[in-house]
Amino acid sequence: MDLATLIGIVLAFSLVLISIMMGSGLGLFINIPSLMIVVGGTMGATMIRHPLNEVIGMIKVVKNVFFTRVWTPERIVDQFLDFADKSRKEGILALEAELPNIDDPFFAKGLQMAIDGMEPDALREILETEIEYLQERHQNGAEILDTMGTFFPAMGMIGTLIGLVQMLQTMEDPSTIGPAMAVALLTTFYGAVGANLVCLPMAGKLRTRSKEETLVKEMIIAGIIGLANGENPRILEQKLHSFLAPSKRVSRFE
């Protein structure tokens, strides 16, 4: 679980709810017609804008906002230096025994191809193609969330107009003004919350996750190509350190 995401969601919604409770009861801010207009309208418009399979696939991508299993760059450097030492002493075939210990499918796939003797250029092409499609999937998920972030306030405005029309048509009956105004104002509230506390922040986090995962996978490619070429561990370390900030470059050979 990503702590920043969890803390952000809890903090944002908690402060909003506390502010509501300090001024009035929570029941005043629950309106089923408003929710139907905003949530239903946003989902419907999103499915018009994007194919159904992409909308369903977005649900799987969103889990990356809350959970991440990407290796840290420092762990990758250490792992490849261990592999490089073992490969130079026992040969690259000796690394096959390490495959069950690698929990990253991309890493395991690339290492297996290197062990099988695939040419480095072909190996790089296959793995870089996989990265491209990974980025495309993440971009689709972020784009759908951006779309929803755009439609939420728009649906809120539509609900506001509906509420105002209902209110103006029944001005002679004061008892109907309150419910109509509730729909008018709460739809705007729901739209603002859905866009600014849910969709847009998640879209931004997905893009950040995509950059982090791409960096890690590019490091893995560099490491695997180095193993396939039988590079000296010192040289391999320098290549992998080029992906890290200077403050995080800790050499094993110093």
Q: Which of 165, 166, 160 is nearest to 184 (CA)?
A: 160
Question: Coil, strand, or helix at residue 31?
Answer: coil
d(CA 8, CA 14): 10
Mean pLDDT of 164-178: 76
Give mean pLDDT, residues 221-243. 90
Question: What are the pLDDT digits (tens) for 173-220?
Answer: 777 677 777 778 889 999 999 999 999 999 998 888 888 889 999 999
- Could you identify the residue written with the tokens 């297996």? 112
CB 73 within 8 A of CB 222: no
Please give the residue that has the higher pLDDT: either 101 or 166: 101
Place of tokens 């239903």: 40
Specify which of 51-60, 85-94, 217-226 reaches the highest per-range mean pLDDT. Answer: 217-226
Token pair of 136, please?
A: 């495309």
Segments making up each domain of the chain, as ranges: 1-30, 31-248
As a whole number, mean pLDDT of residues 41-54 equals 91
CB 187 within 8 A of CB 39: no
- pLDDT, residue 170, reads 74
The 3-class SS string of 60-122 reads HHHHHHHCCCCCCHHHHHHHHHHHHHHHHHHCHHHHHHHHHHCCCHHHHHHHHHHHCCCCHHH
CA-based R_g, the chain, Å: 26
